[in-house]
Chains A and B, each alone.
Chain A
Amino acid sequence: MGYQIGDTVAPFTLPRVDGGELTVDPATAAATVVVFTANHCPYALAWHDRIQQVARDYADRGVQVIQINPNNEVTHPADSTAASAERVAAGHFAGPYLRDEPQELTRTFGAEKTPDVFIIDRSGTLVYRGAPDADYEDESQQARYIRDALDAVLAGQPVAVPSTPPRGCSIKWRTAEPTP
């Protein structure tokens, strides 16, 4: 089922693709953006730069942007930890890029697609889940859904549109689960 809007998101720890581990605790940031993403998925790639720009634009306002690759690297080698580390080394990420090989955290969140965006406020409450914006092809959208949700959280206001349908590639599960 995964987290629903209004649920409390527990802190979590995952390996970074470039070594070490990172513990993500929503209480340590003004807001936390968690993006399940992938290296091989054209939707994730189409939205990628817009998400990095959000990370840069909101960094000095205490927002942390965490990107997580959950995909099965056996069936999709482009999503391996090594391939992910190459993208980090090439400077493609404006924040930590983590790996969820066991896919347990991905199931806990209830992520379905890449990209699938979750925004959590400082109290740990999930306040937004869905797509980065309305159109992967239209760069002028600038990840508007994420920005609007962050602006509301930072202003102490409720998020006007707390949920949109995630759009992208299905998560590549390790087991033979149905692919939506």
Chain B
Amino acid sequence: MTESIEILAWSGCPSHDEARERLTALLHDLGRPDVEVRVRWIETEEEAREVAFVGSPTFRWRGQDLLPPDPATPVGLACRVYRRRDGRASPLPDPDDLREAVQRALSA
């Protein structure tokens, strides 16, 4: 069975293409191009509540958030705010954080 990392994305936030490109490149870089990248669109507040969506993009592996959010992060349709390692806000995770999270997940 093909393993996959799911990107939960909302079309109101423009970061989804970049998220998919970076994750795909990372999987190739890690020697795991066999891991599929799937995008699941979340387009209503109801869907957001159903899957506890805290913003676009959210990366999930086997149903678990690869980069767990602060528990206080509200659920809903929004662009997700990530923090880079230097403290800056960003629409995408720090590349090193994503790499470590994916490596950890794939080796578990």
Contact = CB atoms under 8 A, between A and B. Distances in A.
Interface stretch (A62-70, A149-157, A165-173): A165-173
Interface of B is mostly: loop
Contacts, number: 46
Contacts of B14: 167-168
B78 A45 contact: no
B37 interface: no
Report the contact-size class of chain B (Cβ under 8 Å from the partner): 10 to 19
Interface stretch (A18-26, A35-43, A120-128): A35-43
A140 interface: no
Interface string B7-32: 00001111100000000000000000
A99 to B, nearest CB: 19
Interface of A: 40-43, 45-46, 48, 75-78, 136-137, 139, 167-170, 179-180
B12 to A, nearest CB: 4
Contact of A43 (B74, B76, B77, B79): B79
B62 interface: no
A46 B89 contact: yes
